[in-house]
A and B are shown apart, each in its own frame.
Chain A
Amino acid sequence: MAAQGLHRVSITGIGIVSCLGNDLETVGTALREGRSGLVIDPQRTELGFRSPLTGQINNFDPKILSRKQRKSMPDFAVWAYASARDALDLAGLSAAAIENEQTGLIYGCDSSCIAAVEQVDALLQRGETKGIGSGQIFRSMTSTVTMNLNTLLKTKGACWSLSSACSSGGHAIGQAADLIRLGRQERVICGGAQEINWQSMCSFDGLGAFSTRVDDPATACRPFDADRDGLVPSGGAATVVLERYDLAEQRGATILGELLGYGFSSDGEQLSVPSEDGLSRAMQSALQQSGLAANEIDYLCAHATSTPAGDAAEAGNIRRVFGAKTPRISALKALTGHELWMSGAAQVVYTTIMAQQGFTTASYNFERSDEGTAGLNILRETDSKPPGKVLCNSAGFGGTNSSLVIAFN
């Protein structure tokens, strides 16, 4: 037990299916070399989207599960299963080790749009509800990831999905850590998953929040850069295995990192414009729980999505916490696009990959700051020094903020 009778929380497994790749080596290479996962989807232009830019999952084989198993799963739930399987393998946790009440599942997910569309189409086409099929109800719920993983992995503890827009994945990991810290779970398989289909993105595109820099998809997403013009929607699934530190040590697991702190806050202001202090309160809270001072953080993995207002607000919040001397900062969405519900969890996986593989990814496409994003120590080139003490931010529509402090050394 740590101070105040609370347990320490270790990271023992990670897994990911993203537009940068479907395994840790491929994703690590993309992060190190600055390889973008963003493409043009011509269908979006034909359909009347403002922006055809999107992340894309390539070379993923859904037949890791049977057709019957997949009947109740949208594609992103299958991605979540693949990432969970890889994370559990890395953690060295067997099926028998997780089929118990001390193992939980918490994923961030805030939509399952495609299934809702398909079930309505099926009804209209067939003229009776029994023609919709048995899988659509389970595919269409926002808890589809955790309910399906629970039946596949046979865990018997916590099992729910958490919805908080683009901070869903961050809060899912934070809440999972809190359950372990409080002694209510010994390990939690947690993360985030995000669909990527055009149906789920059309109304967001209509807000004018997406980049329209279509000439070169790899440079379209420009977090903190003066010429940023919007985000690029993306998706996938990310899983982190969190485990009570003492139990992980006892079983001889390789400890990849320690989750030292989780802070949350909400703005209580506007739907789509982040507040001046909301994210800073989450960062302060995470730092406080971690026991670290702000100047002990050596890398900040920013939420920055490349929207003009959002990046400026995050920059202001970072300056509010760190003052004139910020840690090294990069925004990985330059390469991945905005993985929305998944993004807060993906950041934990990406930073763990960097720590494991020995580098810190640059903030690609950043050339110069503007008045709003000035004063940050933005990493312009990939650094051979890996992240040590890290702060990961995520923020969502409505002003819901998550910050996680992780120690890799």
Chain B
Amino acid sequence: MTEAEVIELIDSSLAEEFELDRADMGPTANLYEDLGLDSLDTVDMVIVLEGAFEFKIREEEAVRAIRTLDDIHRFVLAKIEQES
């Protein structure tokens, strides 16, 4: 999977789960301030990412530090590289 494909899978999965408008989903979009997610949604975000990429997310502190879509992209890309 290319980096662009990974990013597309992340964005499309999150858009479906949280009914987000793709037009609002630029890499700098803040999940909480711009996209309207809350702390409960991060619980479901982890489930969505685990389902989409078939890995387990154990890095709870790293997840808590996520603020923007780009943070998610970089987190997932690093995890894929780490697991390969």
Contacts and interface: CB of A to CB of B under 8 A. Distances in A.
A133 B19 contact: no
A67 B19 contact: yes
Interface in B37-64: 40-41, 43-44, 46-47, 50
B19 A71 contact: no
A130 interface: yes
A131 B40 CA distance: 13
Given A67-B17, A130-B47, A133-B47, 11 more contacts: A67-B19, A68-B41, A71-B44, A130-B43, A130-B46, A133-B43, A133-B44, A134-B41, A134-B43, A134-B44, A135-B40
Nearest to A137: B40
A129 to B, nearest CB: 10
Contacts of A135: 40, 44
B18 interface: yes
B49 to A, nearest CB: 12
A66 interface: yes
Interface residues of B, number: 10
Task: From A67, A134, A135, name the one whose CB has the most chain B CB atoms within 10 angstroms.
Answer: A134
B43 A68 contact: no
Contacts, number: 22
Contacts of B40: 134-135
Interface string A7-33: 000000000000000000000000000
Nearest to A69: B19
B18 A68 contact: yes
Nearest to B42: A134
Interface string A53-91: 000000000000011100100000000000000000000
Interface string B1-39: 000000000000000011100000000000000000000
Contacts of A130: 43, 46-47
Nearest to B40: A134
B19 A66 contact: yes
Nearest to A126: B47
B26 to A, nearest CB: 20
A130 B41 CA distance: 12
A135 to B, nearest CB: 8
A71 B47 CA distance: 14
Contacts of A71: 44
